[in-house]
Every structure is written in C-alpha cells, then in structure tokens.
Structure 1
Amino acid sequence: MNFYHPRRGKCSFEEMMSEIQKYVREDPNSEYKLMIGTDSMTRYKETVFVTAIIIQRVGKGALFFYTKRTHSQMKELRYRIYRETEYSLTCVDLLKEHGFFRMFSDIPMEIHLDIGQQGETRKVIQEVVGWVTAVGYQAKIKPESYAASAVADRFTR
C-alpha cells in the first residue's frame, strides 16, 4: 500500500512511520493526538476511497499522510460508509502490527467518520459508531471528524 505526503509525494508505510516518529521526537514534551479517517467519492465508473492519517501536535500544527483505493462504482451510501469505516480500522491494524502503539502508547487515537446528524448519513450513525467503539476506539462524527470530512475529502477529487 502506498502512502502520500501532500508535499513530498509517494512514500512507503515504513517511510511514513519514520516521518511520524521523527515528528513526535522533535518535540517530545508536546501533547499529540492521532486521527484516522476515510472519505469516498463516487464517479461515473468508480468509487475512490481516501484514508488520512494525521498526527497532531496539539496547538502547534500537524503532519498527515493519506492513501487511496479505487473500486468499481458503489452507489449505495450505507455500503460506502461501512467500507470507509473498514478502511480506517484496517489502517489502525496496520499501525498496530508495526508497533506504533508500543512506541507511542500515550498518544490518544480517534477514528473520524464521515457521517453526521445532517443528511442521509444520520441513519447509520448508531451502527457505525457502535462498531468503532465495540472494537475499542473513540469515534468522532461531523463536525468533529475533520480527518475524514476535510482532509481525506480533499484528496478524493
């Protein structure tokens, strides 16, 4: 799986991990937060999913990366929301497998979901938030879910 930095371009998962470690170690006394969120955009023949990984140095900026996946067109909103959530949780699993949470056990993590009280996505809030919390993570919805609704959304186009 390839990851992208908005200015540096394509990088491997290992390079992304290295950059995150370097970023946290530059200012070890700061407070950090990890946010992961996925958004999707359906076009004529395909649906593009973008997962954003953001490490925020609270009050002092952030570093982020993203990855893209393309599927055949998915028109059903519920299915797309479930797939977005699945991709965010898969990304967490990948970070776990590579020891991220052993290195930075004190950094809180949030899963940002591209759903909210307005519009059609309100119908799946309980289900999707329940899924994320059932596997032990904190879920955020709009307007607090900017990793999905702002950052990932920007790169779906």
Structure 2
Amino acid sequence: MYFISPTKGKMHIDQMFEDIMDFVEGDRQADYRLMVGTDSQPGNSICFVTAVIIYRVGKGARYYYRKFYNKKSLTLKQRIFMEATYSIEVANYLFEKLVEADKNINIQIHLDVGENGKTRDIIKEVVNMVLGCGFEAQVKPASCGASKVADKHTKSMAKIG
C-alpha cells in the first residue's frame, strides 16, 4: 500500500510510518493525534482517498494520502461504510506499528458524516462500527481528516479518474 506525501512524494505505508515517527521524535514533549479519514467522490468510477494526518497539537501537522477507484455503483450509505472500512484498515495497520514501536498515540477515525445533510441518518451506525473496532470516531465538523484533507484530493482526483 502506497501513500503520497505532498512534500516527499510516493512512499510505502512503512516509509510513511517511519516519517510519522521522525515527526514525533522532532518534539517528544508535544501531544500528538493520528487521524485517518476517507472520502469518496462518485463519477464514472468512485474515487476514494484515504488521508493520514499526524497532528502535533498546536504546532502543525503532516499528512499523507492514497487514492484508488471502485467501478461498482454504490449507494451513499454503502460509500460511507466503505470509507469507514478503508480508514479502519489503515488505522489497524498503524496501531500495530505503534504497538511494535512502543508508542502511545491516540488514533482517531474521521468520518465524512454529520448532523446536517444526507448522512445524518447513519451517524450512529458508522460511529458504532468505528468504536467497535477500538478507535475514537470524529464526525463533522470535527472530522477534518475526511471532510477537509481527503475531500480536497477526491475533488481534484475525481476529475482525472
């Protein structure tokens, strides 16, 4: 699995993890949040983008993203659950790497759902899915990983794909 760093280019997920750890080592006294969010944009095929953000609270962040396409026709509900599933998959991998590295960094799953709009009816279901996997869930407006970072790349990538 490969991700793109806007500053460093394409990197394997393991290289991304090492870059995240380098960032964390840059200020050991700071608090960190690791955010994973996925957004999708329908078109001829559905463009999915998963974003990983390491946030040094109050002091900046780095982010990485991966894009991929699904040719199946999905309902909005199916797309939201696919987004959550992709985020959980990446979060599980990063969690295992954090355990191996003996690092205690909170992982949040950022969901592209909110009280306003078409997704309000499935908030409980998708949040419970994330909580059931052992991660903290964030919804709009607090889910910037999905609703801002990943969304930015789905909009630009959907035009290409």
Q: What band does the TM-score fall into relative to the shorter chain?
A: over 0.9
Q: Secondary structure at the match of 1:48?
A: strand
Matched pairs, number: 155
Match 2:123 to one of 122, 125, 140: 125
**Mapped partners of 1:14, 1:107: distance in 2:** 17
The aligned residue for residue 78 of structure 2 is 79
The letter of the residue matching 1:107 is: I
The letter of the residue matching 1:3 is: F
Match 2:108 to one of 97, 107, 110: 110
The aligned residue for residue 9 of structure 1 is 9
CA distance 1:104–1:39, shift in 2 (3 Å): farther
**Mapped partners of 2:34, 2:5: distance in 1:** 16
**Mapped partners of 2:108, 2:102: distance in 1:** 14
Residue 74 of structure 1 contacts residue 80 of structure 1 at CA under 8 Å; is this kept in 2? no
Show structure 1 runs of 5+ residues with no match. Answer: none
The letter of the residue matching 2:34 is: L
Cα offset for 1:109?
1.4
Q: Answer yes or no: is 1:149 the counterpart of 2:154.
A: no
**Mapped partners of 1:32, 1:103: distance in 2:** 15
1:49-60 aligned within 5 A: 49-60=48-59
Q: In the TM superposition, what whole-angstrom CA distance separates every residue of 1:70-115 from its partner, at most 9, and x where no partner exists?
A: 1115341000000000000000122234x22342532111110000
**Mapped partners of 1:94, 1:153: distance in 2:** 22
Percent identity over the alignment is: 41
Task: Tell me the TM-score normalised to structure 2 length.
Answer: 0.91
The letter of the residue matching 2:128 is: G
Cα offset for 1:13?
1.3
Where in structure 1 do 4 or more consecutive aligned residues deviate above 3 Å? Answer: none
**Mapped partners of 1:107, 1:96: distance in 2:** 9
The aligned residue for residue 30 of structure 2 is 30
Q: Secondary structure at the match of 1:65?
A: strand
**Mapped partners of 1:16, 1:61: distance in 2:** 17
Cα offset for 1:14?
1.9
